[in-house]
Amino acid sequence: MTQTVQDSAKKRVMIKTFGCQMNAYDSQRMTEIFESLGYESTAEMGQADVILLNTCHIREKAAEKVYSELGRIKLIQDARRASGRDTIIGVAGCVAQAEGGEIFKRAKMVDMVFGPQTYHRLPQFLAEVKRRREADITGPGRGVLDVDFPEEYKFDNLPKAQAAGVSAFVSIQEGCDKFCHFCVVPYTRGAEYSRTVAEVLDETKTLLDQGVKEITLLGQNVNAYHGATKDGEWSLGRLCYALAELEGLERIRYTTSHPRDVDQDLINAHRDLPQLMPYLHLPIQSGSDRMLKAMNRRHTAAEYMVLIEAFRKARPDMAFSSDFIVGYPGETDEDHQASLQLIRDVHYAQAYSFKYSPRPGTPAANLECKLPEEVKDQRLYEIQALLKEQQIAFNESCVGKTMPVLFEKPGRHQGQVVGRSPYLQAVHFFGDLEQIGQIHDVKIQGATGNSLGGEVVG
Ligand code: 5AD
Ligand code: SF4
């Protein structure tokens, strides 16, 4: 009986994450803040006393999803209210940063709107929402808004990182100063900055103590990393060497990189460090120099190919992923063919491709020479078909090979385990659930477009 009373008193939060891994990291950190306030997480919106959307603004569709989600949440809030339960609704992340107070106008039931640089202030936001509720404040003054780029340092004001599995994200860098002409990130995430080396090592050690075996270093421009130390700034490559010394850290990954910021340290790190996984997400966006220039990428396709070759020379089993934008304003069929050719030249293991989506406030949004939707659709189709073909070919090339696989979680069938290959492929096999968190050799016996299957051999 006491149990039931306690349970019903327990506050619950549901955080729904849109967009990139950076948002996934922020959601994890916000979950930790809620835990420190006595909340537990729920996957069911109807059970949640606080519903928080951590949003993405990178393409128009991503932002629109937030408003349709808010429409659904309103129904849940109404239903809960009818049974006497209150629901606090928050919008965090990049849509919050970009739209600010506009969100309160379009979705009147939203209680708090805050950006990626202020979420450490969540306890104050919640207290303020409750205060305004109690004071019965309605209308425009009801919502709590904070889309500052504050003086105080977010990371100094967060609880200690908590592991949620054997693989964890560590944010090392945020923001971007590159200003690609299509991209909102420099406006939503702000100017580029790096966390200190000591902070990154500390957070990683905290996670390793909790059983983490793999970390993915995150940043919008992760290889622009320049973390302060007592003896000057360290590059991403140098940081990887230091991380590789940490006891218990078996795998290191990083994302997302910019071709302009690849340096020899990073290439050497791939040559020297077995912990650094031989898989690199290196977006190029287009294979046409004309488009790369128009996009303000500040490198050519040939320079990109030189980097790919340098990584392959350093680590012959290196595999690559990328991002492509099709239908950028002014893109001709010749430009599109250049992208297809570059894809054929690189042979990607996997890659993402998107139709260009004009983002308000970015230089490209004002360009006149927009392409018809049918042309963009056709080009996207062609790029995706080629990338899919390469992904299947890459997965099939793994069949017959034995790979170290990090056992991550139970699979859908009894006795099945799902793990990750060095190339981030999901690998399904029958194995010992007790071995989750360990790395064992798996002989790959089958491949689909999206995953591998195999047998544990070591
Ligand atoms: N339209 C389409 N795709 C975009 N991206 C970024 N901005 C836009 C846009 N305006 C893509 C890029 C980037 C990835 C994260 O999203 O390919 O690398
Ligand atoms: Fe956006 Fe370009 Fe910065 Fe990447 S490098 S976050 S695409 S501005």
439: amino acid identity, one letter: I
The enclosing H or E element of 409 equals strand 402-410
- The architecture (CATH level 2) of 10-146 comes to 3-Layer(aba) Sandwich (3.40)
Q: Which residues line ligand 1 (CB under 6 A)?
A: 58-59, 182-183, 283, 285, 323, 325, 354, 356-357, 359
Answer for the pair 144, 112: CB distance below 8 angstroms, yes or no.
yes
Q: Is 180 near ligand 2, meaning CB less than 6 Å away?
A: yes
Check residue 1 and give its pLDDT. 38
Check residue 5 and give its pLDDT. 44
Class assignment of domain 402-456?
mainly beta
What are the b/e assignments for 186-195, b being 16+ CB within 10 Å? bbbbbebbbb
Nearest-ligand number for the alpha carbon of 286: 1
pLDDT at 151 over 80: no
The pair phi, psi for residue 423, each rounded to 5°, is -95, 20
Check residue 8 and give its pLDDT. 54
What are the b/e assignments for 389-423, b being 16+ CB within 10 Å? ebbeebbeebeeeebbbbbbeebeeeeebbbbbbb
Q: Which atom of ligand 1 is nearest to the CA of 183?
A: 7
- Give me the chain's average pLDDT, please: 94
pLDDT band of residue 62 (cuts 50, 70, 90) is confident
Dmax (CA) of the chain: 72
Please compute the mean of the pLDDT values over residues 48-75 and round it to a whole number.
Answer: 93
Burial zone of 277 (CB within 10 Å; 0-12 exposed, 13-18 middle, 19+ buried) = buried
- CATH code given to domain 156-396: 3.80.30.20
CA distances to 54, 217, 243, 271, 307 from 314, in Å: 38, 21, 19, 5, 11
Order of strands across the sheet that contains 112-114: 39-41, 11-17, 50-55, 88-93, 112-114, 144-146
The Cα–Cα gap between 362 and 321 comes to 26
User: What contacts 315, CB < 8 A, 6 or more positions away?
Assistant: 270, 271, 278
CA distances to 208, 397, 435, 447 from 415, in Å: 27, 26, 12, 20
Residue extents of the structural domains in the chain: 10-146, 156-396, 402-456
The Cα–Cα gap between 308 and 267 comes to 10
pLDDT, tens only, 408-447: 999 999 999 999 999 999 999 999 999 999 999 999 999 9
Q: How many CB atoms lie within 10 A of CB 197?
A: 22
Q: Is 292 near ligand 2, meaning CB less than 6 Å away?
A: no
Following DSSP, what letter does each residue of 203-268 receive, concatenated? HHHHHHHTT--EEEEE-TTGGG--EEETTEEE-HHHHHHHHHTSTT--EEEEE---GGG--HHHHH
Residues of the chain with pLDDT > 90, as a percent, come to 89
Nearest-ligand number for the alpha carbon of 321: 1
Among 248, 244, 184, 246, smallest CA distance to 220 is for 184
First to last CA, the chain: 50
User: Cα(58) to centroid of ligand 1, in Å?
Assistant: 6
pLDDT at 251 over 80: yes
Residue with the two structure tokens 């006497």: 84
The Cα–Cα gap between 164 and 149 comes to 28
Q: Output the pTM of the full model.
A: 0.93
User: Cα(183) to centroid of ligand 1, in Å?
Assistant: 6
Strands in 56-152 per DSSP E:
88-93, 112-114, 144-146
The Cα–Cα gap between 23 and 56 comes to 8
pLDDT band of residue 154 (cuts 50, 70, 90) is confident
Please compute the mean of the pLDDT values over residues 191-213 and round it to a whole number.
Answer: 96
Check residue 276 and give its pLDDT. 98
Q: Which of 2-6, 17-21, 65-69 has the lowest mean pLDDT?
A: 2-6
pLDDT, tens only, 313-369: 999 999 999 999 999 999 999 999 999 999 999 999 999 999 999 999 999 999 988
Q: Which atom of ligand 1 is nearest to the CA of 323?
A: 17
